[in-house]
A and B are shown apart, each in its own frame.
Chain A
């Protein structure tokens, strides 16, 4: 369902980022349907778990999850990126119910998540803070400043996902500016490191439970395929930032029709 929303909303908008939205669709489904405690009718509920989409260009995936959870009507998805719409090209906390912080400038989100986790600690609150980063995004130095701070403050209420799809805009991440070895870097910064198949929701669910138990901040490196679920987009760098149109939309929707998605079972 999330994937079909991504295709429909970006196609309707005529622009957007389907590749990185599709690659994290299963992570979104996991979080919004299995992990995050929220009250869609009361988005500001103090005890809610926090989720922060650091890779803000994947907004179509976030919006699809929020709509399916009932934060706003699914029809809004078709106004994506329109003048005056509540669904902006990148997440805007002043316009969209359920968006915890405005993002779109890569590299800043994890720092905000650290702040949210610190606030939770100050209030002795039970909620968890979750963030999703891109694997190109972690080239930003600020990500590592945030990683250092999270370990420094022993933020065991913080879980980060890295959408490890191995592509960014100008090409493969390891060719543009390699951040490898990624797990070792997080480990060296004082985090518990988990790896998972980013398209296996039950598998990731088990990993998240362990991550929540960790005595320090935890990162889940989710191995994904950019454009996952749409054959012509899979692992194709050119589908990072353009919307499908015409026959390609129909083909994408048809391919996604045949895939059994977890949210459909509910």
Chain B
């Protein structure tokens, strides 16, 4: 996290912890909710549900493809399955199972994956999914959600229980700032304007939302009013909000903890190119693999910082 984050948001929680808590509540309320994991229930936090509701928890072992299709079968049988493992294995290893059985059948499987992005840290490249948003977004009928913090994660999980069709929710390993105000709402497919401004729009998801807000503070100090949009739902995208932002701000910066190819930045470009074309700068991992390191150092080394967003936004405004 960039400088200033700790004073602005002293509270830090991991989104995967919020998921574990949300599942526990759902378990009590909804007997049709079942949970699957692939030998990572401690890390994904599904273990809490497993302990409380062992008869509704299925550990597939280290067999992600099998897990996803077992979830598909449970969905056909009228259950609401939540299937969890690390993002790279959920979306990468089991992609074709998701595409051909889950999504093409419009089955209500909720794939909730943790350990996405560089903030996995020391485990390194093999465990840092930088492609999962792209992989899930390209599947017809798939809903893709990337919550920015723990409170939003809890609301997302509750919100998607009865959402039609398959859903992918991307969570992280690291503790991240709690920036949601108490009682904030979440609706699938709706962006959230966190800060208003009409010089430039910053559209972000996940951990990069906090960085975007920090960047907006610095831009304000230079007399640039940035609009910050939390685009937690990457698909279906809030095209209306984007069109309005593009038209009122005239320039857009996107920010995500993902390859710049195929993720939120690409989705935003696709949307506004057809409705309200304006200059765009995409902040993300620049088409390379990650590596081992401390999460904060990695975000820095790969240019996923408030500084990078600030500079991109300032350049765009200067040019415009």
Instruction: Write the residues of chain A forming the contact surface with B, with a CB cutoff of 8 angstroms.
Output: 13-16, 56, 81-85, 88-90, 92, 102-107, 136-137, 139-141, 168-170, 173, 176-177, 179
Indicate which residue in B42, B62, B301 contacts A83 across the interface (CB closer than 8 Å): B301
Instruction: Write the residues of chain B forming the contact surface with A, with a CB cutoff of 8 angstroms.
Output: 37, 39-43, 47, 59-63, 65-66, 88-89, 92-93, 121-127, 291-294, 297-298, 301
* Bound-complex Cα distance A92 to B40 (A): 23
* Chain B residues within 8 Å of A90, by CB: 123-127
Indicate which residue in A14, A89, A168 contacts B61 across the interface (CB closer than 8 Å): A168
CB atoms of A83 and B291 under 8 A apart: yes
Ranked nearest first, the 9 interchain pairs of A and B with the lowest CB-CB distance are A177-B61, A104-B126, A83-B293, A89-B124, A139-B61, A81-B122, A89-B123, A88-B124, A81-B292
CB atoms of A139 and B124 under 8 A apart: no
* Bound-complex Cα distance A140 to B94 (A): 12
- Count chain B CB atoms within 10 A of each CB in A15, A83, A179 and give the residue with the most: A83
CB atoms of A105 and B61 under 8 A apart: no
* Chain A residues within 8 Å of B39, by CB: 136, 139, 168-170, 176-177
CB within 8 Å for A105 and B292 given contacts A136-B39, A136-B62, A176-B59: no
CB within 8 Å for A104 and B122 given contacts A83-B293, A83-B297: no
* Chain B residues within 8 Å of A16, by CB: 122
* Bound-complex Cα distance A106 to B125 (A): 14
CB atoms of B62 and A168 under 8 A apart: yes
* Chain A residues within 8 Å of B66, by CB: 141
CB atoms of A92 and B124 under 8 A apart: yes
Query: What total count of A-B pairs have CB within 8 Å?
Result: 95
Shortest CB distance A66–B (Å): 17
18 inter-chain pairs at a CB distance below 8 angstroms, sorted by A residue, are A16-B122, A81-B293, A83-B292, A83-B297, A83-B301, A85-B292, A90-B123, A90-B125, A90-B126, A90-B127, A92-B124, A102-B126, A104-B123, A136-B39, A136-B62, A140-B62, A141-B63, A170-B39
* Chain A residues within 8 Å of B125, by CB: 88, 90, 92, 104
* Chain B residues within 8 Å of A13, by CB: 122
CB atoms of B126 and A139 under 8 A apart: no
Shortest CB distance B196–A (Å): 37
* Bound-complex Cα distance A85 to B298 (A): 13
* Bound-complex Cα distance A85 to B297 (A): 13
CB atoms of B41 and A88 under 8 A apart: no
* Chain B residues within 8 Å of A107, by CB: 62
Indicate which residue in A88, A137, A169, A170 contacts B292 across the interface (CB closer than 8 Å): A88
CB atoms of B126 and A14 under 8 A apart: no
Output the nearest chain B residue to A89 by Cβ-Cβ distance. Answer: B124
* Chain B residues within 8 Å of A104, by CB: 123-127
Shortest CB distance B155–A (Å): 28
CB atoms of A136 and B61 under 8 A apart: yes
CB atoms of B291 and A84 under 8 A apart: yes
Output the nearest chain B residue to A105 by Cβ-Cβ distance. Answer: B126
CB atoms of A170 and B40 under 8 A apart: yes
CB atoms of B88 and A170 under 8 A apart: no
* Bound-complex Cα distance A90 to B61 (A): 20
Shortest CB distance B150–A (Å): 22
* Chain A residues within 8 Å of B47, by CB: 170
* Bound-complex Cα distance A89 to B126 (A): 9
* Bound-complex Cα distance A89 to B298 (A): 14
* Chain A residues within 8 Å of B59, by CB: 170, 176-177
